[in-house]
Structure 1
Amino acid sequence: MFRELRRKRQELPLQESIDILMKGTSGVLALSGDEGYPYAVPISYVYRDSKLYFHGAKSGHKIDAVKRQEKASFCVIAQDEVIPEKYTTAYKSVIVFGRIRILEDETEIKEAVEALAIKYHPDGDEAGRQSEIDRFRETLCMMEMSVEHICGKEGLELLRARQ
């Protein structure tokens, strides 16, 4: 169903792609926006158990797009170093395809928001984390993207350096 990478030798092993998702701090979520235009929005996330979790407000363009179409993609750039003399970049990136939904179950919401909070403040205490979550709970919307396909790629310069 999903296309194979055209430059197959530049494809990252699945585990390396997952590692990039685990370590990344932000990416771009691509949705079907208004009037058929693509809508791509930078967003923080957490990857856990083959799912991506995002947060946002309970209303707006992003939420309308998620309600309109469950299919989405998400891209994380792990490395992007310009090599001027070669007119290229040394990069690693991952694109994920899947289906996104707004979480409704309170237990799912709690687990997702806590995972996100721990990712961005791993040394924080539980009381402080809960206080921050409670402060935004009424306006917070949590989304879950079930991963159907992951494809990582690295630039030729990185591939050559490894070989």
Structure 2
Amino acid sequence: MFREMRRKKQVLSREESIEVLNRGSAGVLAVTGDEDYPYAVPISYVYYNNKILLHSARSGHKVDALVKNPKVSFCVIDENQIVPEEYTTYFRSVIVFGKAHFIEDDIEKRKTLEILTEKYSGQMSKEHMAAAIDKEIKALIMIEIEIEHLSGKEAIEFVRAKQKKVD
């Protein structure tokens, strides 16, 4: 159902792809928008238990699109080093395909928001995080993307550098 990557030497392993998702702080969520135009929006997220978790306001373009069609793709760019003398970039990225759904259960919604908050809260105390969640939780919806397919790719230069380390 999902395409195989053309440049096999540049494919990241599943473990490497998950490392990219864990390192990332933002990704781009792509949905089918109004009049079937693609709509891609940068968003904060967390990778957890083979899922992408994110939050949203209760209404808007993204929410309307997900109600119409839960199929999404989500991209995280881990590395994007411009190399002007070669007219290229040395990159590493991951793309996820899956289906998104809204978390309805209040207990699950809170747990999901806690997981997301932990990633972005730095050294905040648990009490401070809980207060922030209490203040915002009613205004938010939580979204979970069930990953159906995951693929990662990196520049051939990174592949060669890894190979040199092994040799």
Give me the TM-score of the superposition, normalised by structure 2: 0.95
When the two structures are aligned, how many residues end up with a matched partner?
Answer: 163
Structure 1 residue 122 displacement after superposition: 4.1
Contact map agreement 2:110 2:137 (CA 8 A) in 1: no
Contiguous gaps of at least 5 residues in structure 2: none
The structural deviation recorded for 1:157 is 1.7
CA RMSD of aligned residues (A): 0.8
Paired position in structure 2 for 1:56: 56
Q: Distance in 2 between matches of 1:38 and 1:108?
A: 30
Amino acid in the other structure paired with 1:7 = R
Q: Does the residue aligned with 1:130 lie in a helix, a strand or coil? A: helix
Q: Which residue matches 1:117? A: 117
Q: Does 1:128 align with 2:115?
A: no
Shift of 1:123: 2.3
Structure 2 residue 13 is the aligned partner of structure 1 residue 39 = no
Give the 5 Å matches for 1:1-163. Answer: 1-163=1-163
Deviations 1:121-156 (A, max 9, x none): 142211100111111112111100001111000012
- Could you give the per-residue CA deviations for residues 23-70 of structure 1, whole angstroms, max 9, x where no partner exists? 110000000100000010000001100001111100000100110101
Whole-Å Cα distance in 1 between the matches of residues 151 and 16 of structure 2?
10
Structure 1 segments of 4+ aligned residues over 6 angstroms from their partners = none
| Equivalent residue letter for 2:43 | I
Instruction: Report percent identity of matched pairs.
Output: 48
- Deviation, 1:114, is 0.2
SS of alignment partner, residue 62 of structure 1: helix
Given the two structures, how large is their TM-score scaled by the length of structure 1?
A: 0.97
CA distance in 2, matches of 1:118, 1:158: 31
Structure 1 gaps, min length 5: none
* Deviation readout 1:5-40 (Å, 9 max, x if unpaired): 011110001100001101110000000100000010
